[in-house]
Amino acid sequence: MIDPGADRAVFRQLADLLRDRITSGDLAPGASLPSELRLAQEYRLSRTSVRQAIALLRSEGLVIVEPPRGTFVRSMEPTETVTLRKGDTASARMPTPAERRELDIGEGVPVLVVFRGDGSRELYVADRIRIGR
């Protein structure tokens, strides 16, 4: 439940509740979240607080917003294994707007940059890969 008197902002409390429902599987990938209006009424919050909670979940890569259809639990893409060889290194970072468009990824999803020993560079969507040796 949401406690307006708590030290934690109400939008963060709502995000916590929705995140728990997503990670537990109660809200499955592809499932629609209740509308902003319904969440506001159910938890007795302003629509601004609901929007802030959804924005937080979006920034974490847990939901996608498709105006005017609604907000949906993000489906995880199948994973691919990327093998690191001797001399290769990898680092994670947030993508540029151009990379986000090119790779078709939402806000809050990092990319993994693999620097190969031969000087080449490869870019992967971090939640779609696994690193192997």
Inter-CA distances, 95 with 6, 43, 64, 102, 129, Å = 35, 34, 17, 10, 15
- Nearest C-alpha neighbor of 76 from the set 118, 39, 28, 38: 28
Cβ 109 vs Cβ 127: under 8 Å: yes
| Percent of residues, the chain, with pLDDT higher than 90 | 71
Instruction: Specify the number of domains making up the chain.
Output: 2
**One domain, residues 95 and 69:** no
**One domain, residues 63 and 21:** yes
* CA distance linking residue 22 with residue 98, whole number of Å: 29
**One domain, residues 87 and 49:** no
pLDDT digits (tens, 9 = 90+) for 64-86: 888 889 999 988 766 789 999 99
Per-residue model confidence (pLDDT) at position 60? 84
**One domain, residues 15 and 62:** yes
Q: Whole-prediction pTM value? A: 0.67
- Average pLDDT (47-56) is 96
Instruction: Please determine, for residue 32, whether its predicted confidence score (pLDDT) is greater than 90.
Output: yes
The whole domain housing 46 covers: 10-73
**Among 27, 50, 73, residue at a domain's last position:** 73
**One domain, residues 63 and 111:** no
Which is more confident, 113 or 79?
A: 113
Which is more confident, 93 or 59?
A: 93
